[in-house]
Amino acid sequence: MGQRKYFGTDGVRGTVGEYPITADFALKLGWAVGKVLGKGHGGKVLIGKDTRISGYMFESALEAGLIAAGVDVLQLGPMPTPGIAYLTRTFRADAGIVISASHNPYDDNGIKFFSEDGYKLPDSVELEIEAMLDQPMDTVSSAELGKARRIEDARGRYIEFCKATIPSSVSLSNLKVVLDCANGATYHIAPDVFRELGAEVIAIGVEPNGRNINAGCGATDTSKLAEKVLAEKADLGIAFDGDGDRVMMVDAKGEQIDGDQLLFIIARDAKKRDKLQGGVVGTLMTNLGMEKALAKHDIPFARAKVGDRYVMEMLKQNNWQFGGESSGHVICLQATTTGDGIVAALQVLAVMAKAGLSLHDLKSGMSKYPQTMINVRLPSREAKPMDSEKVKSAIEAEEKILADRGRVLLRASGTEPLIRVMVEGEDAAQVKESAQRLATVVEESC
């Protein structure tokens, strides 16, 4: 398979104004996507975005490129990434385009794609689009140009979809919930979903101004949410990231509950109801405490590479339904085709409502192991300390010390010249010392 020039693990992403996150590239990308996915004249592509100020510019540029390729455009406006995946399917569109940099700050942006079935594009299609980008851009005849129109009820359609992912017998009327929408794409959707299901909702992070997305709020920083939950004496808090595909929670005591713990709660409940269908997929970074807790319930567990697309690949290979990352990507394939923060949160609240238990009680079945992560900066991208025999034998030595009470993981960052040294185990002090020793060996081997 060829080397991808523009596409990373999740579409094209970077700083606004720096190539390829520019208006002229977006225009050409829209055209290339129109040619490959829109199949030229008569095709139909959806475009949605988060709340970043640069979204207007990229929406217009992509739209112009698609229309030049003879493809019709349906604009969704601000919409969570999983909402765009859902609407791509229900509109029988050829593709869905998401303009978002997810949990990144506002001066970044990105463009990612869903195929007609609501799944992320396979590598082979991304390579086809890249090949088309190298061709000169042409415009179809005036008679064949695409048209653009706005889908006025996109928001309402997605709200109804989210609500339908839990049984109609489940009411959230006994719950007081604080929502932090990260001033992002869920701001005008999540509060209505939870209110319409009966919960008392206090919403923060619902005043986007184009520049405050993910700024000290949302799934990447739950401190404001925890404060609000305690101040309001709420039952729990739910935080989404800027594009709504990640979720973190806070219990009534203000303690954070991450993606691993949420996944454990959902999977354990599915197992009890005999609805699990196989096991659970995590990643190399999934906490060892989750693996051990799942084993106690005889739930199989597999680790994929870091990144929700790899979790999804492994779920499909195994024909399993539940997977995710500690960062808050939680995939429930019995309900939808991609990680969806609102849908995942609803599954957890449905378990709470049916069991009559607090979130704090539900998470008690899993103890997170202490984890230490040290980033070792490399002098250059050419440095390959992981190939060093000294590093390999140091890893072996630490693994012997930890035995089955912990684990060691060293991996190169995909975005920066770093080696991430991660150690986790039962004993926090031992874990810290082990990580420090390994980090020193890696530094010396550069």
- What DSSP assignment string belongs to 273-309? TT---S-EEEETTS-HHHHHHHHHTT--EEEEPSSHH
Reading across the β-sheet that carries 330-332, which strands appear in turn?
A: 301-304, 280-283, 322-324, 330-332
Q: Where are the extended beta strands (E) located within 24-153?
A: 44-49, 72-78, 95-99, 108-115, 148-150
> Hey, do 158-363 and 371-444 end up sharing a CATH topology, with the first three levels equal?
no
Cα dihedral 320/321/325/330 (nearest 10): 180
> pLDDT tens digits, residue range 286-340?
999 999 999 999 999 999 998 888 999 999 999 999 999 999 999 999 999 999 9
Q: What is the pLDDT of residue 446?
A: 81
Q: Which of 108, 99, 52, 53 is nearest to 73 (CA)?
A: 99
Which residues of the chain have a pLDDT value below 50? Answer: 1
Contact 191, 204 (CB under 8 A): no
3-state secondary structure 352-383: HHHHCCCHHHHHCCCCCCCEEEEEEECCCCCC
191 vs 250: CA distance, rounded Å: 17
**Catalytic position from the list 102, 326, 327, 434:** 102
Q: Which CATH code, of 3.30.230.10, 3.40.120.10, 3.30.413.10, 3.40.50.10860, is assigned to 158-363?
A: 3.40.120.10
Assigned architecture for domain 12-152: 3-Layer(aba) Sandwich (3.40)
82 closest CA partner among 400, 330, 288: 330
Nearest to 188 by CA among 212, 156, 163: 156
Q: How far is CA 225 from the centre of its chain?
A: 19
Block residue for tokens 């359609």: 157
pLDDT at 121: 87
pLDDT of 41 = 65
Tokens of 113: 């794609």
Domain residue extents for the chain: 12-152, 158-363, 371-444
User: 246 - beta bridge partners?
Assistant: 329
Establish whether 326 is a catalytic residue: no
What CA–CA distance (Å, rounded) separates 36 from 43? 10
DSSP, collapsed to helix, strand or coil, labels residue 258 as coil
pLDDT recorded at residue 372: 96
- Residue type for position 191: P
In tens, the pLDDT along 160-181 reads 999 999 999 999 999 999 999 9
**CATH, domain 371-444, list 3.40.190.10, 3.30.565.10, 3.30.310.50, 3.10.310.30:** 3.30.310.50
Strands 330-332 and 322-324: antiparallel
What would the two tokens of residue 345 be? 């949160």
Contact between 76 and 51 under an 8 Å Cβ cutoff? The reply is: no
Q: What whole-number distance in Å separates Cα of residue 429 and Cα of residue 257? A: 23
Q: Cis peptide leading into 105, omega within 30 of 0?
A: no
Query: What letter does residue 8 receive in the DSSP assignment?
Result: B
